[in-house]
Amino acid sequence: MERVKEYALITGASSGIGREFARQLAAKGYSLLLVARRAERLQKLKDELKKDYPVDIRILPADLSFRAECGLVAREAAKLPVRVVINNAGLGDFGGFTETELSKEMQLIDVNVTAQHILLKKMLQFFEEKGIQGYILNVASSAGLLPGGPYMAAYYATKAYMVSLTRAVRSECRDRKSRVTVSALCPGPVDTEFNDVARVKFSLKGISAEECVRYAVKKLFKGKMIIVPSFTMRAGVVLSKLAPPSLSVRIAGKQQKKKLG
């Protein structure tokens, strides 16, 4: 009897960190359900991966700023033996709070918070109803571990939401002896096209998507809850906890101003 292949669901898979998760999980033998808005990019990625990895790859174009499409992704994933969820789709923006576009901020909240919340809930319910040992990684940011970020106020707030949600859900899973591991990836700057879309230029040197994902995958499968890939960012998060929140926010604000390139 042929062994049933396990799948990884990856949202925001067409570029950056999501694209690299697709590569590294395919290399580990996982079949893939890839989700993003841009169908042509998904197809191109599928064609590239099929040349190198003997796994099944399915693509599902979807705009996760719409709740109905989040539900569609969850229903399609439930038809497959999904064991890993990379809850990665996200947006960013930069600028003074009174100057940034409200419509863009609402879309940012829809994708960074609402979509990730829905998929976390739906996939956790799916895993537990089936008694599956699974892994869910919410891609947040080191921004979510800090008190706040002037000039990226909405972005920091959405990432703090996902960090807080991950911690709470992880605790509930432990209480009921769930077989599901829920974690949050909280990277600092990563060299991807996200930076252009968010209109930022980081003052700190970024790490590669490959390095970020390699560390994330290793720690996810070891059961780490909060994953921060970069010694510099881990040190920065620790130091921020030693300073008064008001001081940390002011320091963050000065760093954010340097991003305006």
Tens of pLDDT, residues 161-189:
999 999 999 999 999 999 999 999 999 88
CA distances from 59 to 31, 116, 158 (A): 11, 19, 27
Active site residues: 155, 159
Question: What pLDDT, in 10s, does the model give residues 33-44?
Answer: 999 999 999 999
The angle subtended at Cα 210 by Cα 231 and Cα 51, nearest 5°, is 165
Q: What is the mean pLDDT of residues 246-256?
A: 60
User: Does 3.40.50.10420 match the CATH number of domain 7-257?
Assistant: no
Q: For the purposes of burial, counting CB atoms within 10 Å of the CB of 205, is it exposed (0-12), middle (13-18) or buried (19 or more)?
A: exposed
Beta-strand (E) ranges in 123-241?
Answer: 134-139, 180-185, 226-227
At 191, is the pLDDT very low, low, confident or very high (cuts 50, 70, 90)? confident
Q: Is 250 exposed, middle or buried (0-12, 13-18, 19+ CB in 10 A)?
A: middle
Confidence of residue 256 (pLDDT cuts 50, 70, 90): low
CA–CA distance, 254 with 261 (Å, rounded to integer): 14
Copy the structure tokens of residue 17.
């960190």
Distance CA 158, CA 143 (A): 9
* Whether pLDDT at 1 is above 70: no
